[in-house]
Amino acid sequence: VARGHEVTVVDRRGGGERRTVAREDDPLSVPRRLTAGVRLVMPGETAARRLPRCLPGGGGWFGFASYDAVRYAEPGKLPWEGAPPDDRGLPDLQFGFYDRVVVFDHVETLVHVVRLVEVGPEDDPGEAYDGAMRDIGATRTALQTHSKPLVSGDFEVSPGAPDATGVRSTLTRATHRAMVERAKEY
């Protein structure tokens, strides 16, 4: 969470909560730095077809950057000293790293439970996989034992499943390109 150049990192791994507050010249670099050692290895083609299309990596950084966050990228043109007074009390950046995600696909009427697994150099990948499968099972159980159970099942996804490739834009490529150039110029 960043407010101006003050960044608060909250680590909730292991069931506890540790907070670190620091001043950062570029708060946008903090998420990259925190996960610098993480390398995403995608599943094989067969397994990848079962992942929801909206989350090809299965998790990661999610959050928002406020309108004023552009000041981090353009400090010479848009210094923080020139920012209007904060009348909302909202952070300028708020991101979370999620290694467990539940995706509700309303088009396919499916619920996907996705789990990222960190495997260190000394870790056994098989044990990490088994732990992830236990986590997924626990999440499925929690979803099914809620006041209105969500019945689950496993099935193979058809390779010919519908996708968004037929969606048409309301902008022409030339209009879009001109808008991008105008924004870059600004």
Instruction: Give residue 59's pLDDT.
Output: 73
Q: Is 29 left (phi over 0), alpha (psi -120 to 50) or beta?
A: alpha
Residue 32 lies in a domain: yes
Structure tokens belonging to residue 35: 């996960």
pTM of the full structure: 0.63
Instruction: Give residue 35's pLDDT.
Output: 87
Burial readout 103-126 (b: 16 or more C-beta within 10 A, e: otherwise): eeeeeeeebbbbbbbeeeeeeeee
Structural domain count, the chain:
1
Residue 6 lies in a domain: yes
Residue 178 lies in a domain: no
Instruction: Give residue 124's pLDDT.
Output: 87
Instruction: Give residue 142's pLDDT.
Output: 87
Residue 24 lies in a domain: yes
Instruction: Give residue 64's pLDDT.
Output: 92
Low-confidence ranges of the chain (pLDDT < 70): 40-58, 146-147, 149-150, 154-166
Instruction: Give residue 56's pLDDT.
Output: 52
d(CA 60, CA 58): 7
Instruction: Give residue 12's pLDDT.
Output: 87
**Domain, as residue range, for 130:** 2-158
Instruction: Give residue 18's pLDDT.
Output: 92
Write the pLDDT tens digit of every residue in 61-85: 889 999 889 998 888 888 888 888 8
The type of residue at 144 is Q
Residue 180 lies in a domain: no
Instruction: Give residue 20's pLDDT.
Output: 93
Residue 172 lies in a domain: no
